Amino acid sequence: MPLQRRIPKYGFTPLNRVEYQVVNVRTLEEMEATEITPEVLKSKGLIGSVKKPVKILGEGELTRAVTVTAHAFSGTARKKIEDAGGSASDLD
């Protein structure tokens, strides 16, 4: 069989790919809760499922101290949360 028929035509999707539900720091600023977990984000309608991992991204500013628990954080998000006096802790 010729090589052009044996290679994939539409790219490759890795089987162990992790798709995160993303939440920005700007959204955390708008929430009135001081302790933020995936369950709180689900109750506010910011994520679709508690079973999928949540990642906090650093877009926006944070002016108050909050305790955030999520599966992953970007470097800027962790820095902004800790600079505002809060704490960022990982699940798992």
Examine the pLDDT at 11 and tell me if it is beyond 80: no
Instruction: Give pLDDT tens digits for 41-72.
Output: 999 999 999 999 999 999 999 999 999 999 99
Examine the pLDDT at 10 and tell me if it is beyond 90: no
Q: Report residue 88 as tokens.
A: 């960022």
Which pLDDT score, from 0 to 100, does residue 92 have?
Answer: 74
CATH fold for the domain made of 18-90 = Ribosomal Protein L15; Chain: K; domain 2 (3.100.10)
User: Are 61 and 53 spatial neighbours (Cβ–Cβ below 8 Å)?
Assistant: no
Question: How confident is the model over 79-91, as a mean pLDDT?
Answer: 95
Q: Is the pTM of this model over 0.85?
A: no
* Dihedral-angle region of residue 83 (phi above 0 means left; psi in -120 to 50 means alpha; beta otherwise): alpha
Q: Tell how strand 21-24 and strand 67-70 pair up.
A: unpaired
Examine the pLDDT at 7 and tell me if it is beyond 90: no
Instruction: Give pLDDT tens digits for 20-46.
Output: 999 999 999 999 899 999 999 999 999
Q: Report residue 63 as tokens.
A: 């002016």
**Neighbour count for residue 32 (Cβ, 10 Å):** 6
**What's the alpha-carbon Rg for the chain, to the nearest Å?**
18
User: What's the CA gap between 37 and 91, in Å, rounded?
Assistant: 10
